[in-house]
Structure 1
């Protein structure tokens, strides 16, 4: 069973593996972020044959999504021969729930220039297996294989690998699969007990200088809480070969009333 089953050209049904962490009756938004990348890549390949690569993924999370059928649509906001801006929207009940704007860029041979000062992290087999369901409920969290090295609350390096496919019966790119776990970063090294403090993210933006080349996605993550109910989860993204980009998630930090 996959995260989603396609019912029509742009219609998808979530499985139990999409169940949320803050509310198990709602979708965890992570698989939907991967689904939107899959839709963008499929739309690209229908329109052109030069395989533009995605360099930036900028998501706005506009609301919660029930465990129900949802629709995905894609439009080109800025067409171009070598660079274009594409928007994909996940809707439920006629209303937009997640909006993605992705920059697609032409591939160039820069192998001789590859370099980054971003530090590497230990590989998955050097980290202990960690059960994220010890902190979070929900089908999505239970579907993720995690290896983690925790330094302190709110600071950790970890690797995540989904154990189920993104879309039933469909070939999905390594990037779409990876994007389907990007949102997990906010919950893998909690700064506060989520039973006492809510800290959902309302966006996620990833900048990639390399395409992911492995099923394992590495995270070097720091969670920060500030005054006024704001927070930030900052991450350097990795594949098994090294750093590939960065991502940030703005948080709405809300102390919860005693149970």
Structure 2
């Protein structure tokens, strides 16, 4: 099983595994974000061999995407020897649906001064399994394995992994696989019943100080609704070794 199949050098077909949560006839955006991260890394590896690593992935979500063939493109916005800014886009039918800007940075040895004040979350083996399809429909949510420690509505820590490949018959980095799960954060600890309040995100930005390792991706997540129709889902990201970065999603909050 895979979320996407390559059908051309810069074209991919979505499978039914990407079925959305707000609308099962369109794609859940999460796998598409992983696909664009893969496109950026693939372009980097063609252009250079010095091992720049991704420090930021910033996505703007321009609209819904049908479960169909999508085109991608990538360009270097700001070239550099040690730092570069790369832009990628995913579209369908001549319309862009997702834009990504990624900062790629030269790695270095900072282990001697490394550290963070972000606390670790409960280990994955000590969290109870939770079925997200009890709240959300769609192929993508059904493909996710989740373990969750709920604090209150809109506040939880949880671990997520999936057995589904990001792209059929293609090597994908741990970062791209993790990026394909980032967007699940907005639905794993809801502040309001999604049948009564819609709260899709219009963007997603991940800042990473460590490249993800392993199959499980952890989240320490808080969902906030403001008084004027705008919300924020903010998370600290983890792998099984500890915190690796932060994640933010801007929400449009729409009571039915």
Same fold (TM over 0.5): yes
Q: Which residue of 1 aligns with 2:161?
A: 161
The answer to whether residue 87 in structure 2 is matched with residue 62 in structure 1 is no
Q: Which residue of 1 aligns with 2:18?
A: 18
The answer to whether residue 229 in structure 2 is matched with residue 229 in structure 1 is yes
Give the CA deviation at 1:152: 0.4
- Aligned residue for 1:189, secondary structure, equals coil
Q: Which residue of 1 aligns with 2:152?
A: 152
Q: Which residue of 2 aligns with 1:28?
A: 28
Q: Deviations over 1:223-248 (max 9, x none)?
A: 00011101000000000000000010
Give the CA deviation at 1:140: 0.2
Q: Which residue of 2 aligns with 1:120?
A: 120
Q: Partners in 2 of 1:71 and 1:51 — Cα distance?
A: 26
Q: Partners in 2 of 1:14 and 1:123 — Cα distance?
A: 33
Q: Which residue of 2 aligns with 1:83?
A: 83
Q: Deviations over 1:123-163 (max 9, x none)?
A: 11100000000000000000011000000000000000022
Q: Which residue of 2 aligns with 1:178?
A: 178
Gaps of 5+ in 1: none
Q: Which residue of 2 aligns with 1:48?
A: 48
Q: Which residue of 2 aligns with 1:242?
A: 242
Q: Partners in 1 of 2:233 and 2:154 — Cα distance?
A: 9
Q: Deviations over 1:15-34 (max 9, x none)?
A: 11100000000000000000
Give the CA deviation at 1:214: 1.4
Q: Deviations over 1:193-249 (max 9, x none)?
A: 000100000000010011111110000000000111010000000000000000100
Q: Partners in 1 of 2:9 and 2:174 — Cα distance?
A: 21
- Aligned residue for 1:166, secondary structure, equals strand
Give the CA deviation at 1:122: 0.8
Q: Deviations over 1:50-99 (max 9, x none)?
A: 11000000000000001111011110000000000000100110011000
Q: Which residue of 2 aligns with 1:38?
A: 38
Aligned CA-pair RMSD: 0.5
The answer to whether residue 133 in structure 2 is matched with residue 133 in structure 1 is yes
Q: Partners in 2 of 1:51 and 1:36 — Cα distance?
A: 18
Q: Which residue of 2 aligns with 1:203?
A: 203
Aligned length: 256
